[in-house]
Amino acid sequence: MPHYLHRRAFVAIGGTLTALGVSLLLAAPASAQTGQPIRIGYSMALTGGLAPNGKSALLAQQIWAEDVNAKGGLLGRPVRLLYYDDQTNPATVPGIYTKLIDVDKVELIIGGYGTNMLAPAMPVVMQKNKVFIGLLGLAVNSEFNYPRFFSMNASGPDPKPSFTKGFLDMAMTQDPKPRTVAIVAADAEFAVNSSDGALENAKKHNLNVVYNRRYPPNTTDFAPIVRAIAATNPDLVVVCSYPPDSVGIVRAVNEIGFKPKMIGGSMVGLQNTAIKAQLGPLLNGWTNYDLWLPVPKMNFAGVADLMAKYQARAGAEGVDSQGYYMVPPAYAQMQVLQQAVEATKGLDDGKLADYIRGATFKTVFGDIKFDAKGEWAESRMLQVQFQNVKGNDPAQFKDMSTQIVVTPTEYESGKLIYPYEKAK
């Protein structure tokens, strides 16, 4: 088991000094490796609203580094991870990547977690011509068109509609068909992109959009917003939110007794075990996107072993006890970089980008191939409905009896309960 060296660093961002946590993963076993470590730098949300998912991803990345180092490293050199806490604050991100590249002189970089953290890194990354594999993120490259960007999000070549496409497609197969939809979103990068996609999907289905508004990201009282939505009496409600908002909206919907025919769609946070346990039965009937769950059809090579390693350490590390949402994509993010380095036998960003763009990668997150914009060549976004949740025991979310993959068909593990109130 490798040891960890922790220190504190102060980075000047926007004229102020901000304390950022740094961890260096030391190589093991040293006897199997020679030369200086290959340092991989990035930002990660370890505090703030995205921290529960960020910490889960970080442990997966550390497990990857341990696995690689135990087999002799990359190119015969040990791997070292160098990361800074971006505090779920987009303003910290440009300074972090500038420091990593110009001061720390890392050989490789990867993207941190979340659209709102990836987008502000792009100008720095582009100026330095670095390969940039983002951990999730929605349509980050749609405006930049940077040829060395790649996304680990399963959203596919048309990313903005992908988070809600399955939700609305499934809703339109119900009898009677819904006619109206409300769309509510946080006024922040991810949620805005996703709500734009939801509006596009709604128009394709000729749904009447009776509500389409955004709320400030620092909103804490969602009752007035939910009442305003309920007043329009929509059949469907699409919510595009980040973790604190997702919790607030679920609670407000239940407290007010609002019962649309289907609700959910694009809510970050409801994939996290602690949040699921906190909300408990309030989740019943909600249908929301996800990326990976341990259903038989998603038992990709190596993923069961990875999840066992992660879950054995989750308690001591203080992270999501199950890790279904973040662990496979975070580990696969590193596998893509690893396979590109091994195939090109070097660290040249241009050669790495060319290889990543053309190859198919075998990962714990399934087979991955990228398109010209760095998105997945094919979408694999899941929609999952919560059913039969009882009490607040997190153990009930370990098996799949409470989380039913309802679309796409090739990964389906059960049937949608419709309308929503029948699952309450």
Separation CA 190–CA 212 (nearest Å): 16
Opening angle at CA 76, ends 72 and 79, nearest 5: 70
* Average pLDDT, consecutive stretches of 10 residues, N- to C-terminus, the chain (424 residues): 33 37 43 77 95 95 98 96 97 98 98 93 98 92 94 93 96 96 95 96 98 96 98 98 95 98 96 95 98 94 98 96 96 98 98 98 98 94 97 93 95 95 94
The per-residue pLDDT for 47 is 96
Residue 208 DSSP one-character state: E
Helix (H) or strand (E) holding 90: none
The per-residue pLDDT for 33 is 55
User: DSSP 3-state assignment of 156?
Assistant: coil
Helix (H) or strand (E) holding 39: strand 38-44
If you write DSSP's letter for every residue of 112-170 in order, what string do you get? -BSHHHHGGGHHHHHHHT--EEEBS-SSTTTTT--TTEEE--TT-SSHHHHHHHHHHHH
Q: Which residues of 366-381 are buried (b: 16+ CB within 10 A; e: fewer)?
A: bebebeebbbbeebbb
User: Which residue type occupies 186?
Assistant: A
User: DSSP 3-state assignment of 265?
Assistant: strand
The per-residue pLDDT for 25 is 44
8 Å CB contact between 227 and 175? no
* pTM for this model (two decimals): 0.88
